[in-house]
Amino acid sequence: MSKVQMFRRFRFRGPAKYFAVLALACLPSGAASQNVDARLETVMQFFAGATVVSSPTVVECKLSGGTETACFSITFTDDPEGDTPGPWCPRNVDDGADAGGIWLQDGVVHDVDGAFIERLAEFYGDTNWQLHDPETGAVRFTGTLEACEAAARPNVDPAYQNHCVECLPEYMPDGASVTYVIPIDPGEPDQLSPTRTGSGVAYNGVRLDGPAPVDAILGAYTIAPFDDCGGHVNLHVGYHYHAVTECLNNGPEADVPEHGPQIGIAMDGYPIFKHLMADGLVPAELDQCNGHLGEDGTYHYHAGAAGSNAILGCLRAETGCTLNDPDAPCDATARRPGP
């Protein structure tokens, strides 16, 4: 029986002290196991407000660069805790901003109200845009699971060109969950990893995704708005964020001076903070992945500006996996490791 099988067989949900026993079996030294114990405790506290399906466990994992190491695995339902998702698409060009979500273009957050839908041809300088019926003002949107499936995919079904794409949380199968497998000890922040498995996970258990595939979306004359919290639904991971907005204001305070609450954990294990410092100033000397070393010498990220369509555009260390099957092994070098 491999260690991973052993961990699965004993899927403890109890206090952190049990994890230390598991960690001893997994890692070579007592000091390392204390680190694992502390890390799991921190992870559990960080996600205290999320809908956790199963508490963090230690699993073996193969990271994106091929390193085999110990990760924590934690599973959430696809429902966000707290905020109710939506709305996304306004129903008529007369509708105001409260009837729709937001769209991100060239670093700017635009309200998707009726007027925005009406002027898309002008906005994109292309007269093929026509998301509404010019006589009634009704907005064409994907109103069924089937329409969502056909329109919210890279090769949009031509039948749904010129539609506002919205998938509803209730389209997800009952009991859907997403599992995050993230290194216990982030590697040195000396690489550039793509956000193929997402940027990370927020304190409320919602996926912080990589950039939305805007070119594919716009190329089919569709928009797939985000709600005012920067999130929308796809059928693989449910509700997920492409922008960090004022909704993510209630994260746990972290022990990094002047950084305010921590909003998430990146897929390489490093913390993610808000775009701006607690005093509203821009963080100093960010690298190309929006990260830097704090005063205490530890590395962390700052989420991109809401309009940038990049919560994180890249990651500086090897990343773990997001999985639909909580018991699947994490091999982040696989061509398609997860949703």
Nearest distance, CB of residue 231 and Zn ion, angstroms: 8
The residue among 212 and 265 lying less far from Zn ion, judged by its C-beta, is: 212
- Residues that contact Zn ion, how many (by CB under 5 A): 2
The residue among 108 and 286 lying less far from Zn ion, judged by its C-beta, is: 286
Segment lying near Zn ion (by CB under 5 A), choices 76-84, 127-135, 277-285, 330-338: 277-285
The residue among 54 and 105 lying less far from Zn ion, judged by its C-beta, is: 105
Q: Which two tokens stand for residue 121?
A: 């041809």
Cβ-proximal residue to Zn ion, closest one: 283
Dist CA 331 CA 65 (whole Å)? 10
Q: Which helix (H) or strand (E) holds 41?
A: helix 30-46
The residue among 14 and 297 lying less far from Zn ion, judged by its C-beta, is: 297
For strands 177-183 and 321-323, give the pairing. Answer: antiparallel
Nearest distance, CB of residue 242 and Zn ion, angstroms: 5
Residue 90 in the binding site for Zn ion (CB under 5 A): no
Nearest distance, CB of residue 277 and Zn ion, angstroms: 7
Residue 283 in the binding site for Zn ion (CB under 5 A): yes
Segment lying near Zn ion (by CB under 5 A), choices 38-46, 66-74, 116-124, 280-288: 280-288
Burial of 83 by CB count in 10 Å (0-12 exposed, 13-18 middle, 19+ buried)? middle
Dist CA 210 CA 324 (whole Å)? 17
Dist CA 277 CA 25 (whole Å)? 40
Segment lying near Zn ion (by CB under 5 A), choices 140-148, 244-252, 281-289, 321-329: 281-289
The residue among 26 and 289 lying less far from Zn ion, judged by its C-beta, is: 289
The residue among 33 and 309 lying less far from Zn ion, judged by its C-beta, is: 309
Residue 88: φ, ψ to 5°: -120, -65
Binding to Zn ion by CB under 5 A, coded x per residue (else -) over 205-244, reads -------x--------------------------------
- Taking residue 75's Cβ as centre, other Cβ atoms within 10 Å add up to 21
How far is C-alpha 241 from the geometric centre of its chain's CA atoms? 5
Going by the DSSP 8-state scheme, the letter that residue 141 receives in this structure is B
Dist CA 81 CA 232 (whole Å)? 14
- Taking residue 49's Cβ as centre, other Cβ atoms within 10 Å add up to 14
Nearest distance, CB of residue 290 and Zn ion, angstroms: 9
Residue 251 in the binding site for Zn ion (CB under 5 A): no
Q: Which helix (H) or strand (E) holds 177?
A: strand 177-183
The residue among 27 and 233 lying less far from Zn ion, judged by its C-beta, is: 233
Which residues of the chain form contacts with Zn ion (CB under 5 A)? 212, 283
